[in-house]
């Protein structure tokens, strides 16, 4: 069976690719398992050298890899270049810290000697989406391989060129053959891999519903899994914020990756004393965002990733309008080829609308006006999701108090939500289980072995 890589800006085919058969996928797994048997014995300091090589390999082909991201999923080239740079930086973070993070942990438990050793599990399967084609794959892959595991990447079939380019980067960095492999498969082959005894864990990033299915199958087969799922992140604006700074950040936070990010700001919760100024300034900035060729450095926003994604966004906006929402700017497709949608601001949205209850992947920003900070906390938590949140105010003590009451895995004050390799990243509620990045992410796929000597 063949799949196509389609440029969402031109609607032209980048290329056709064969899906792996189940037999081929299992042969790849066998080879990856064999590579792991050698890799697990490699000293962490030697693994660190390869990670530095990976950073160099990514930067060497940064322009080429960034272009692949843009022509396969549509984000502006300046964001694609930043994505590759972030991956290289993360490889350096783990090269610098991996050995320290994996050191035996001595514990005084009354024995002559007792400690916890952190040992690799084996081959870990990652199932990754298209919205950050390199970053999603590498923010898992870099820690997993640093810990001594091997990995198979089952990437989204939207970005096959990126999938194979990531495998190429590991080869160029001098990692053992087959230690990191990319596969394009159908869903049945994914299931067969999860069930296979040589797969010791699963990392999945994607929708909540698919994540539930992955977790169910992994659980039945006693496989460790980490799930980074959907989000409906609140962007809370208090009356004492720096309005120009906050609105500029709001535009960036909503439109990163053309609005197709799990941690994009998706619900703008504004206290009434700040609402008039925020709506006016934010709407003006959103209307000025430049749509165009994503390969142009001047473009602020490219197309959505696919026609299907565009049509879903249109139906979500239509639902909000039917329920009484008012379009302040945008609200339609522009007259241009490609899967574009205008940056959109909605006010007077009703709490039951799909825009507020579903994850929205696109440049649409609903504004909810609330009475005060307590009301903002209530509305922020009135969602099934719990991935990220941001709070905007000059009162940092008040902001920290609010942050502790927000039901989310990541809360940023006076900054848009970001994934940082030094901080654990992940969600609660319907936004997932487990953590990626930092030492905490590194330890998700290890055997924490207690050793006691009496």
Catalytic residues: 228, 262
Half-sphere exposure (Cβ direction) of 337: Cα atoms closer than 13 Å? 6
CA distances (Å), origin 135, targets 60, 321, 354: 17, 35, 28
Helices (H), 4-159: 22-39, 44-60, 62-73, 77-101, 135-146
Rounded CA separation 304/258 (Å): 6
Residue 52, number of CB atoms within 10 A of its CB: 16
Pairing of strands 2-7, 446-453: unpaired
> What tokens were used for 288?
């000025």
Rounded CA separation 399/422 (Å): 22
For helices 160-172 and 135-146, angle between their N-to-C axes, nearest 10 degrees: 30
Q: What is the DSSP letter of 330?
A: -
> What tokens were used for 27?
């042969």
Sign of CA dihedral 313, 134, 263, 289: negative
Place of tokens 């080429």: 64
Q: Which of 380, 344, 64 is nearest to 236 (CA)?
A: 380
């Amino acid at each position: 069976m063949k799949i196509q890589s389609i440029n969402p800006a031109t609607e032209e085919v980048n290329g056709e690719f064969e899906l792996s058969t189940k037999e081929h996928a299992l042969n790849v797994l066998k080879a990856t398992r064999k590579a792991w048997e050698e890799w697990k014995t490699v000293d962490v300091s030697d693994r660190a050298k390869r990670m530095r090589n990976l950073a160099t390999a990514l930067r060497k082909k940064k322009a080429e890899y960034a272009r692949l991201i843009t022509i396969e999923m549509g984000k502006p080239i300046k964001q694609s270049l930043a994505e590759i740079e972030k991956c290289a930086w993360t490889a350096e973070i783990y090269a610098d810290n991996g050995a320290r993070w994996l050191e035996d942990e001595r514990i005084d438990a009354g024995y002559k000697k007792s400690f916890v050793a952190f040992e690799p599990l084996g081959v870990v399967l990652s199932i990754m989406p298209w919205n950050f084609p390199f970053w999603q794959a590498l923010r898992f892959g870099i820690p997993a391989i640093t810990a001594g595991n091997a990995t198979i990447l089952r990437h989204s079939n939207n970005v096959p060129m990126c999938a194979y380019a990531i495998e190429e980067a590991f080869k160029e960095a001098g990692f053992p053959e087959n230690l990191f492999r990319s596969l394009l498969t159908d869903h049945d082959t994914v299931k067969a891999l999860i069930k296979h005894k040589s797969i010791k864990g699963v990392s999945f990033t994607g929708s909540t519903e698919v994540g539930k299915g992955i977790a169910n199958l992994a659980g039945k087969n006693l496989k460790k899994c980490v799930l980074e799922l959907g989000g409906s992140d609140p962007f809370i604006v208090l009356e004492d914020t720096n309005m120009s700074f906050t609105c500029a950040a709001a535009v960036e936070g909503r439109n990163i990756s053309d609005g197709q990010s799990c941690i994009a700001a998706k619900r703008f919760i504004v206290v009434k004393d700040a609402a008039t100024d925020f709506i006016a300034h934010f709407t003006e900035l959103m209307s000025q965002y430049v749509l165009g060729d994503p390969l142009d450095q001047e473009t602020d926003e490219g197309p959505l990733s696919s026609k299907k994604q565009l049509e879903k966004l249109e139906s979500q906006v239509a639902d909000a309008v039917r329920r009484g929402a008012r379009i302040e700017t945008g609200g339609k497709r522009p007259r241009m080829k490609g899967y574009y949608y205008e940056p959109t601001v909605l006010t007077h949205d009703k709490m039951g609308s799909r825009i507020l209850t579903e994850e929205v992947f696109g440049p649409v920003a609903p504004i909810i006006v609330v009475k005060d900070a307590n009301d903002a906390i209530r509305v922020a938590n009135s969602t099934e999701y719990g991935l990220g949140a941001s709070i905007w105010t000059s009162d940092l003590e008040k902001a920290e108090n609010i942050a502790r009451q927000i039901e989310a895995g990541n809360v940023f004050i006076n900054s848009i939500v970001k994934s940082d390799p030094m901080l654990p990243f992940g969600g609660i509620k319907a936004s997932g289980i487990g953590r990626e990045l930092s030492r905490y992410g590194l330890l998700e796929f290890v055997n924490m072995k207690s050793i006691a000597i009496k």
